[in-house]
Structure 1
């Protein structure tokens, strides 16, 4: 469903879902009161206690305990590590390169299907959302009010991974029962909408450009925007296609875990439970306190209950003294990866960058901010918006609200985005020796037109082109088929993408990958409306002059077939 055509009448609840690698967040607002955005901050610790734990976000963890599904805070901290499934979001896009670490989440280890894990987790989130809405607004209001979901996805993900997320949400019990529309928005775009709104006054002027770096648990997503308008609505457009990598704070946790096992793994009494308690302290406290100004011999307390006092190992009364110098070694490779991404983004934007906005859980790290400060041009300011951990989910709600009531003046609008790759399709064209000489071996005879033809790419969008939600791209094409083979029931089209940094090639090669199959059902078009033409070979052929309309939204694409002046929304796109 298109963001542009949301219905504007009636009361509606907009729900933002930030399904994260390590933590997930949910926020909502009513269209009647768009200024009151509410993040869910109370989470279940058991079926009996749905309001047991206060936190801005909930851990993205699952455990299948007999017939019970434990999720978030209801997964016991001391549960055996092989039973706890985490980081499974990363399995949705196996094509991404990780930060020199093989992320085999428990999802893949347990042989469980990642689509099921995501569906089960989002179902649990949805159930808790409905419980919370009923508590806050009352049963009647929730029953009679339409819901709409805006789900965030990493910008660097493949279209397949984004589509899998949408499908998991459509299957998730709590969401599917409401039959509500589900929209996708890219995480850095959602973060930018919130950050610019939250940083007002941010000191940025029309024409200024900035980089937004959304550093989360698993992914770090970057994108640059140029401000095109400040009043009445803050409008921005992308300055360069987004970039990113898997180098979020999850990798700090992995490095800390590895460090601790190497240091204390041989000590008597060291087990999964000790490690789990230590990890929790690292995650909730140490990681967030660590700063660049820490002296090498400063120490941070890590609980290691049950381990005997051992001065040599640095253990005293069940506490391990973690040195700042060791923390630096744990942090540096991950931080350097983020710094490199930011520097590359600044260089590739080809416009002067005024500021870097750091958001996301890892984006709130003081150490990361200070290291970045020392690594980039001093004239570029570095900003951390308040409550950066909730930036993505809050931005998702704001996006949904803005699309429902376009006159909401507190919103940020993204006018244009930059295409991240070449998009196109492959058609038969008349063979021309001058143009297609290198494809000579692939030419074939066409009975309809009585000439040699060859398959060539038609690119409807090139990498770096400005794409807007308001301006669709059209591709004209002719669909032919011999009448003797029976009437045409389906028009099929393969969409290809080339994500390499090069000019779009004339013909398909090994770098041009299938993106999705688009299929339009034309069986309901009366036979007499299907155009025909007699070929040079004396045979009759169907010849349908069609158009495909493609609209590129924040994190998804919508295809519509146009034939004989009619729009056919029955186009299904299946991503590969």
Structure 2
């Protein structure tokens, strides 16, 4: 059981499975802790012909179709769905209600959460089938499984929580909690691991641009150590936005509908066939610097010839300048995100290179334009750029096993302020006079104030708990305290953490602790008489916040007892 990174006992042996649940395509990879350097990407998928391994691809379309009646509904997914039939697409975007593509998107009688659950159910079943074929049923029954799922870094906590709940409902059976990791960090872990170590120096800084189907995520790192493993720290909070390649699809669909929508024979089937050509061929190969003045031929079967519109024999030719208007705004937006990320780093470091990964990140024209715009900064497309995220997810899962880290993120920059609201004695030098109120219980003026675990831009160390202590009074005359609630707040908008709750300060989660189990004798020890002449149980508590790649764990302590299963209620 020896390997280059030491020995693992049978107790430590497990399978780490990465799932890159994407807007347009989904990837799966896995590795065994005994062979951490050997990451296998799933490349065989069910086809519409009924075979479990009929299609070969490193990713599978994130698409669903339901057949049959509602009482006996069958699910087709990925490559199983025949061409030119209706299907559910882009439902991942629906998990994040802030995405502009969601506002006018209808899912019919399905919700994005249900579609995600049904899709991940099929993914999980195929993972188990694949692992059984590769490893055998006997081993698969006994070896622990650990899932590592990727999410966009720009997503809200609520969107991440919806994704996690969909995984759980889909039946993913993980021996440890399913870990969420951000897509750009997973890609960075893989890309940095694969770079030529002789070209790296401590102090070198990189921007990782993960341009996918729905989102573009950016994150920047500085190398802090090379041996025994590569160590990096985040330079600035990650940025990005909803401007992935699906926006090209939407722009093309809108353009073609405006151009041909009034022609006889135009219908949804014609649009679907045209969109398929754009998505599978033109979008990937588009590069006006290589195409010269040639137009782009799109099938539009059934439309009559129209020389003025460029329609001939069931095909329409899109002029280069027309296609340019479709691509240009999206290309410029991605470049602007990269430029802004570089500018945000300039006060601390000089960026040496941009690593371009993701499906859209493979686009040669995007790379050309990026090189033109950045000039002195090198633009690199690492090998396996399309599967960089899922490979990195496996590597991050492996790193949870002692001794198997290959790249270590020593600290991250907080993207928001995170804290709780407590009430303190009024301080005119600190508090706003409008917040001042008289507390008869304590006999002095008080004011609510925010106490922050972390502030935006602060470097947070991996898995290092940050505590905040508090005290809560309960009237003895009201009987034994039953429940303690504590709201966790976040503020993503203000650059400086506010003293008082602002309009942009939102409830993130509500933590709940059941106090009914505290023995009465222990409660009696907490009784204290306040200046108002009444007796109170004074419950001492603390909250520990622990931050990792895409997750935050809040643990509530009361009277020294750890509430390990605190219910985190996300505010949607």
For Structure 1 versus Structure 2, the TM-score category normalised by the shorter chain is over 0.9
1:521–1:570: 8 Å Cα contact kept in structure 2?
no
Tell me if 1:240 matches 2:233: no
In the TM superposition, what are the counterparts of 1:305-454 in structure 2 within 5 Å? 305-308=301-304, 310-349=306-345, 350=347, 351-376=349-374, 378-404=375-401, 406-408=402-404, 411-440=406-435, 442-447=436-441, 449-454=442-447
**What corresponds to 2:98 in structure 1?**
95
Partners of 1:437 and 1:159 lie apart in 2 by: 30
Preserved CA contact (<8 Å) 1:87 1:105: no
Per-residue CA shift, 1:94-150, capped at 9, x if unaligned? 124x3xx6663342xx14222211111111111111111112211111111111110
What residue is the counterpart of 1:4 in the other structure? none
Of 110-119 and 127-136, the range deviating more from structure 2: 110-119
SS of residue paired to 1:481: strand
Partner SS for 2:127? helix
Structure 2 contact 144–175 (Cα < 8 Å) conserved = no
Once residues 556 and 493 of structure 2 are traced to their aligned partners in structure 1, the CA distance between those partners, rounded to angstroms, is 28
CA distance in 2, matches of 1:74, 1:48: 7
* Secondary structure of the structure 1 residue equivalent to 2:419: strand
| Residues 329-388 of structure 1, C-alpha deviations (whole Å, 9 max, x = no match) | 111000111111111111112221111111100011111111111112x22100111121
In the superposition, relative to structure 1, how do residues 575 and 102 fare at CA in structure 2: closer, same or farther (>3 Å)? closer
Q: Tell me the distance in 2 between the aligned counterparts of 1:46 and 1:180.
A: 34
- Say which SS state the counterpart of residue 435 (structure 1) adopts: coil
Q: C-alpha separation between the residues in 2 aligned to 1:29 and 1:353? A: 33
Residue of structure 2 equivalent to 1:3: none
The aligned residue for residue 221 of structure 2 is 225
1:104 aligns with 2:104: yes
Match of 2:520 in 1: 527
Q: What is the alpha-carbon distance in structure 1 between the residues aligned to residue 407 and residue 42 of structure 2? A: 23
The corresponding residue for 2:533 is: 538
Match in the other structure for 2:20: 18
Per-residue deviation, residues 488-527 of structure 1 (Å, max 9, x unmatched): 2322110111112331111112111111101123333322
- Out of 158, 161, 172, the position equivalent to 2:170 is 172
Alpha-carbon separation, structure 1, partners of 2:164 and 2:49: 27
On the 8 A contact 2:146/2:175 being kept in 1, the answer is no
3-state SS in 2 of match to 1:415: strand
SS in 2 for 1:297: coil
Q: What are the equivalent positions in structure 2 for 1:472-511 lying under 5 Å apart?
A: 472-511=465-504
| 1:236 to 1:43, Cα distance in 2 relative to 1, 3 A | same
Q: 1:105 to 1:136 in 2, by over 3 A?
A: farther
Q: Is the 8 A contact 2:211 2:356 kept in 1?
A: yes
Q: How many residues are treated as equivalent by the alignment?
A: 556
How do residues 13-92 of structure 1 correspond to structure 2 at under 5 angstroms? Answer: 13-46=15-48, 48-66=50-68, 67-80=73-86, 84-92=87-95
User: Cα 1:202–1:85, aligned 2, differ >3 Å: closer, same or farther?
Assistant: farther
CA contact (8 A) 1:26 1:393 kept: yes
| Aligned partners of 2:440 and 2:532 also within 8 Å | no
Distance 2:504 2:10 in 1: 43
- Quickly say closer, same or farther: Cα 1:256–1:434, change in 2 above 3 A: closer
Secondary structure of the 1:413 match is: strand
1:293 alignment counterpart: 289
Q: How many Å separate the matches in 2 of 1:139 and 1:8?
A: 17
Alpha-carbon RMSD across the aligned residues, in angstroms, is: 2.2
- Deviation, 1:318, is 4.0
**Of residues 528, 546, 553 in structure 2, which corresponds to 1:551?**
546
The runs of 5 or more residues in structure 2 that have no matched partner are: 1-8
TM-score (norm 1): 0.92
Question: Tell me, what secondary structure is at the counterpart of 2:408?
Answer: strand
The alpha-carbon deviation at position 445 of structure 1 amounts to: 1.7
Name the CA shift for 1:529/1:47 in 2 (closer, same or farther; >3 Å): farther
Q: Distance in 2 between matches of 1:271 and 1:296?
A: 32
SS in 1 for 2:499: coil
Question: For 1:406-432, what per-residue CA distance to the aligned partner results, in whole angstroms no more than 9, with x for missing partners?
Answer: 3236x1111100011111111111123
Question: Offset at 1:155?
Answer: 0.5
Distance in 1 between residues matched to 2:303 and 2:534, nearest whole Å? 86
SS in 2 for 1:282: helix
| CA distance 1:401–1:363, change in 2 (3 Å) | same
**C-alpha distance in 1, partners of 2:276/2:47?**
16
SS at 1:341's partner residue?
helix
CA deviation map 1:149-172 (0-9, x unaligned) = 101011001111111111111111
SS at structure 1 position matched to 2:555: strand
Residue equivalent to 2:119: 121
